[in-house]
Amino acid sequence: MSPATPLDESFWSDAIETRELQPPLRGPLDAGVALVGGGFTSLTAALRLKRQRPELEVAVLESRHVGHGASGRNAGMVLAEAHLDRVRDLGARSVRFTWESVTSMVDAIEAVALEEGFDCGLERTGYLEIAYHPVHLRRARAAAAACAELGVPLRVLDAEATRDRIASARFAGALSHPRAALLHPGRYVAGLKRAALRRGVRIFESSPVTGLRQGREIELTTPEDDVGGAHPPLGGGQLGLNAYLPASGLSPIRDRAVTLHSFILLTERLSPAQRESLGWAGREGWSDMRRLHNYVRLVGDRLLFGGRVVYHFGLEAPGGIDVIYARLQAELRRTFPTLGALSAGRRWAGPVSISPRRTPVIGSAGRFGNLHYAVGYSGMGVSLATLAGRVLADVVLGEGARWDDLVYRRDRPWPLPPEPLRYLGFQGSFLGMRLADAWDALRG
């Protein structure tokens, strides 16, 4: 197999049906709700809308094919963050509610897969934040103590306990998240698509949205024609673009986040001896506690190793790809030297959406408040997109008050500066994080 370029199809795409796409939109369409983007956010919202209000006309417009974007390119980890930094501003109740809401998405995914009759390969493995240095372990202990005050049950593992779980001499300890899981993103997005179609959602693939006109009715422009949205409260437009939002140019929220690229190596199958050398009986997903970290999991008997975030204008492939993958491969060898030289069976990249505060924003915009959006999942898109889809559907149905305590609804979005200031700001931020990581390694 020839080396894949960063925006080639991921390993997960093998489970996504791309030979027989839903037909593109031809001519005008009146829809109660029009959702832009064919990923976890829009499909979850569409399915929830039709289950709650079967008579509502719901349309999903996707520029390529369902699952082509970040929903089909991620690592397949269902994670949550405690957001301890928000306690002072938003209160313990809001932070605790957000934690419970996000961690409950493991149950929600399992339930929808069972009810709709598809298998997304969900594994309730838990998740580890790995300490590489003593300073990381001190932070882990402080985080666990603060979480305990909120009623968030995280546990600190020492070096021996961590290495008993996953054999790497690099590990100095870990913060254990028991309410986390792994899944197969391709099967998940494909299952949501089939379920939505069965429920009567109209999905239009190869239908890029090129413009948006606000008013009492939202009008979305496609290369073929216009899509008209119905009058609220049953209608409006929803943007489930997340990482693709900045490049879409759709106002008024294109300045809410930036798009970064994250890179993934997936090894060939490990031999029985290699697999046994890792231990890893619990199959936990993990990432290290550096600011610029790697994220790792098992996919069957393969090893997925991701990281090396890069800022780049637009969504086209950044330059210097071979160097990026070589550095990622070196990190893999350093972490698991007993495996020897592992060849990458697949490699790909995917966009990651980052907001200025590094947390999602789920909000409504426009003169009439009928343009709803979610953006900034910051690498936790499986759980957060699933949650965002549910929140946005409830907002459209007039039931959004149940989510008023959610941190992502209460945070005020900070608009980003225009380019090239945006690029320069994030490059400076990356440099600062690299220096801080280097300092942590030096001081222990």
78 close to 251: Cβ distance less than 8 angstroms = no
Q: Which long-range contacts (CB under 8 A, 24 or more apart) does 222-227 make?
A: 222/25, 222/61, 224/24, 224/25, 224/26, 224/27, 225/25, 225/26, 225/27, 225/28, 226/28, 227/25, 227/28, 227/29, 227/31, 227/34, 227/59, 227/61
Mean of pLDDT values over 390-417? 92
Q: In the predicted model, is pLDDT for residue 91 greater than 90?
A: yes
Number of Cβ atoms within 10 Å of the Cβ of 215: 13
pLDDT category at 230 given cuts 50, 70, 90 is very low
Number of Cβ atoms within 10 Å of the Cβ of 319: 10
Reduced 3-state DSSP string for 285-309: EEEECCCCCCEEEEECCEEEEEEEE
Q: In the predicted model, is pLDDT for residue 306 greater than 90?
A: yes
Q: What are the backbone dihedrals phi and psi of residue 248, each rounded to the nearest 5 degrees, phi first?
A: -70, -30
CA distances from 439 to 113, 229, 309 (A): 45, 53, 20
- pLDDT above 90: percentage of residues in the chain: 66
Tens digit of pLDDT for each residue in 202-220? 999 999 888 878 778 888 8
Domain ranges of the chain: 1-257+353-427
Q: What is the predicted pLDDT for the residue at 211?
A: 80
Q: Among 171-180, 275-284, 295-304, 408-417, where is mean pLDDT lowest?
A: 408-417
pLDDT category at 245 given cuts 50, 70, 90 is low
**Which residue from 443, 62, 26 is spatially nearest to 238, judged by alpha carbons?**
62
CA 109/CA 113 separation, integer angstroms: 6
Residue 243 in tokens = 């990482």
**Which residue from 131, 124, 137, 135 is spatially nearest to 168, judged by alpha carbons?**
131
110 close to 187: Cβ distance less than 8 angstroms = no
CA 107/CA 396 separation, integer angstroms: 23
pLDDT category at 352 given cuts 50, 70, 90 is confident
Q: List beta partners, residue 375.
A: 361
Better-scored residue on pLDDT, 213 or 315: 213
Radius of gyration of the chain (CA): 21
Q: In the predicted model, is pLDDT for residue 254 greater than 90?
A: no
Better-scored residue on pLDDT, 156 or 230: 156
Domain 1-257+353-427 has CATH 3.40.920.10: no
Q: What is the predicted pLDDT for the residue at 251?
A: 58
Q: In the predicted model, is pLDDT for residue 273 greater than 90?
A: yes
CA distances from 33 to 47, 320, 397, 436 (A): 12, 41, 10, 46
Q: Is the pTM of this model over 0.85?
A: yes
406 close to 362: Cβ distance less than 8 angstroms = yes
Better-scored residue on pLDDT, 3 or 28: 28
Residue 264 in tokens = 């993934």
Q: What is the predicted pLDDT for the residue at 2?
A: 39
Q: In the predicted model, is pLDDT for residue 289 greater than 90?
A: yes
Q: In the predicted model, is pLDDT for residue 88 greater than 50?
A: yes
Q: Among 140-144, 165-169, 414-418, where is mean pLDDT lowest?
A: 414-418
Mean of pLDDT values over 391-420? 90
pLDDT category at 155 given cuts 50, 70, 90 is very high
Q: What is the predicted pLDDT for the residue at 4?
A: 41
pLDDT category at 195 given cuts 50, 70, 90 is very high
Q: Among 110-119, 246-255, 268-277, 371-380, where is mean pLDDT lowest?
A: 246-255
